[in-house]
Structure 1
């Protein structure tokens, strides 16, 4: 009997030690994963000036690649075809910006007149009864004034009054010149990267497939992953293009019916801003409301115009885009929202634009790699 007890205790001790070892390994692995994740986030934030143009250039090259492919069929060298496409894109952007610039200047010319009109209407309005906040501010000022009067004054010492410097637009613009220079340099870098990526074509895809060898199965799996990346990103860009056209066209038509000036400019701005989730529609709502108030001078028209833009962007954001995306992506809404928050925190508006395609690529990679399938399950529907 004692021998049986000893044997059972001997068998229990190794199992307990194994359990302890497994827990230690799991804790150590989780710690390493957490440290690696924090280091990766820090590196992405630190290398923003390099990584952001690279990611944007990759997305733009995916969008423009179908325009370069016809040149391959007619035996035109790919670098020449890429140069033609990039040059044509720049020409279209410049030619389209000229009338939009005129409308923007016309809108800015009316701002001082509208501000003077608003000031005159505010001065002629009857005084309102003070609310709780105004009364609290007045009481605080009286307390501050009485406290300053009660302080002993030193004879022969002149009190000093701090005068705030008025806001200078020229100085503000000169202070932001460095940021503008960085933005221009990043845009130029992204444009060059777009050209080079279009010029080399499928070179890097072939290199990735070749590196994943030497077995044919691994090379085939890598090719399947790259094709899935290509399909996911291109489908997302197609959905974004359709959404932008929908928002721009319906905003333009609605503002024409309402009699809003520079309706074409607002349609273009609304279409471009629709690509920035949450932030873009809010800025369009705010801008159109202010523009309508400056033009019509009434809050009713400001609310109507702003509400119209909100209706259009809501249809796009809650009906059109989710319906199109549901057929192309298997991401769940929570993962998309968390991804938007994360990339928006890291890279601002650009992060909001690239968040969804990055999540789609990560989800596709997780579905093909066995060790990453738990993460893919968290991101999926």
Structure 2
């Protein structure tokens, strides 16, 4: 028979950590499941979310252009229609000469390939490596066994015939992809018009929903004002930086007599919106194009170095100076964001990854429960 002091009892001090561990494990599991569901939903709803997010960012970038119309009391639907029409006209007018330069560049790709083949053929033959010798020996063994199978009586050899390249199927597949892209661009521009036309409608609705107390509405107003300022300023800086890189890349390549300088300026301007990855791609691509055109490594290094100087000025001087009063992101967060959004949405995801991170950072700075995440994203 056990005494009272021998009876096992569960003290509050011993049960507290166990309950806390179970609670933390349950919360962590819910967070992981919610994150996985969110990633799956973002990937599944790409056809809807991608044009929507692009339209929201474009509306933020174009909204300051409507201020002169607002001063003269021009109705928002009319001023929004004028701005969107000017953007479409600018895109169409710039696409004609750029299309010619793009076709000329594509025509030179077979010439570049043949030139590299001739260069490699004229190069002295190198001694085969161990892996190449092993592959050659395995190929000889496979050929000998296949010859024996052919000489075996009563067995019909099987010959695998590769299906020829179907040009019609390739064109139809490309046409369907182009049709989807055109429809998404049209949807984005139409949504940009509606967002510009309604103005501050949704902003007022969000503030009204945050009520009913005056204190909550005032806090929501402060959050929305700072959110709009941060995002609009950041998108304006990105637009200005892209124009800077595009114009100076075009001017530099034109002075160096690089072919298709306008197309290179456009690609450099778009790639400047992709931190770290974009300038590297332009550096490598312009160097290869210069080597194909001039045939010397000196000109290839000069052209590639010129593109690197332009992007370095933009990345190390212009952008930090313009974004000195904005919430800044640390390089690790930017790189991880590029990996994630590039994996989810491809090249367009790389372009809009930084603005999305900027929006998340601005939101986390004002929501107390999300401030740890904002601290991880910031410098």
The correspondence for 2:151, drawn from 144, 150, 153, is 153
Per the TM alignment, residue 47 of structure 1 is displaced from its structure 2 partner at its CA by 1.0
Q: Distance in 2 between matches of 1:242 and 1:140?
A: 58
* CA shift in 2, pair 1:222/1:108, >3 Å: same
CA contact (8 A) 1:78 1:200 kept: yes
**1:328 matched to which residue of 2?**
326
Per the TM alignment, residue 13 of structure 1 is displaced from its structure 2 partner at its CA by 1.4
Per the TM alignment, residue 286 of structure 1 is displaced from its structure 2 partner at its CA by 3.9
Per the TM alignment, residue 173 of structure 1 is displaced from its structure 2 partner at its CA by 3.0
Q: Secondary structure at the match of 1:151?
A: helix
* CA shift in 2, pair 1:160/1:309, >3 Å: farther
**1:35 matched to which residue of 2?**
33
* CA shift in 2, pair 1:348/1:156, >3 Å: same
* CA shift in 2, pair 1:370/1:329, >3 Å: closer
CA contact (8 A) 1:111 1:294 kept: no
Q: Distance in 2 between matches of 1:67 and 1:78?
A: 12
The correspondence for 1:130, drawn from 127, 130, 145, is 127
Gaps of 5+ in 1: none
Matched, 1:237 2:235: yes
* CA shift in 2, pair 1:120/1:129, >3 Å: closer
Name the stretch that deviates more: 49-58 or 262-271. 262-271
**2:272 matched to which residue of 1?**
274
* CA shift in 2, pair 1:149/1:304, >3 Å: farther
Name the stretch that deviates more: 106-115 or 175-184. 106-115
Over residues 199-222 of structure 1, what are the superposed CA-to-partner deviations in whole Å (9 max), with x where a residue is unaligned?
000000000000000011111111
**1:192 matched to which residue of 2?**
190
Per the TM alignment, residue 326 of structure 1 is displaced from its structure 2 partner at its CA by 4.6
Over residues 38-84 of structure 1, what are the superposed CA-to-partner deviations in whole Å (9 max), with x where a residue is unaligned?
21121111111111111110000001101122222211111111001
Q: Distance in 1 between matches of 2:356 and 2:112?
A: 44
Per the TM alignment, residue 328 of structure 1 is displaced from its structure 2 partner at its CA by 1.7
**1:14 matched to which residue of 2?**
12
Per the TM alignment, residue 322 of structure 1 is displaced from its structure 2 partner at its CA by 4.4
What is the TM-score when the length of structure 1 is the normalising length?
Answer: 0.87
Per the TM alignment, residue 229 of structure 1 is displaced from its structure 2 partner at its CA by 1.5
Q: Secondary structure at the match of 1:128?
A: coil
Q: Secondary structure at the match of 1:159?
A: coil
**1:342 matched to which residue of 2?**
340
Per the TM alignment, residue 106 of structure 1 is displaced from its structure 2 partner at its CA by 3.1
Within-5 A mapping of 1:210-221 = 210-221=208-219
Within-5 A mapping of 1:81-120 = 81-115=79-113
CA contact (8 A) 2:327 2:361 kept: no
Name the stretch that deviates more: 103-112 or 179-188. 103-112
Over residues 279-305 of structure 1, what are the superposed CA-to-partner deviations in whole Å (9 max), with x where a residue is unaligned?
433443343234323322344433443
**2:69 matched to which residue of 1?**
71
* CA shift in 2, pair 1:158/1:267, >3 Å: same
Name the stretch that deviates more: 63-72 or 281-290. 281-290
CA contact (8 A) 1:115 1:294 kept: no
Per the TM alignment, residue 94 of structure 1 is displaced from its structure 2 partner at its CA by 0.8
Q: Distance in 2 between matches of 1:326 and 1:53?
A: 30
Q: Distance in 1 between matches of 2:302 and 2:163?
A: 38
Per the TM alignment, residue 373 of structure 1 is displaced from its structure 2 partner at its CA by 2.0
**1:306 matched to which residue of 2?**
304
* CA shift in 2, pair 1:273/1:378, >3 Å: closer
Q: Distance in 1 between matches of 2:301 and 2:66?
A: 45
Q: Distance in 2 between matches of 1:28 and 1:211?
A: 31
CA contact (8 A) 1:233 1:361 kept: yes
The correspondence for 1:60, drawn from 54, 58, 77, is 58
**1:46 matched to which residue of 2?**
44
Q: Distance in 1 between matches of 2:159 and 2:126?
A: 32
Per the TM alignment, residue 237 of structure 1 is displaced from its structure 2 partner at its CA by 1.2
Q: Distance in 2 between matches of 1:166 and 1:152?
A: 26
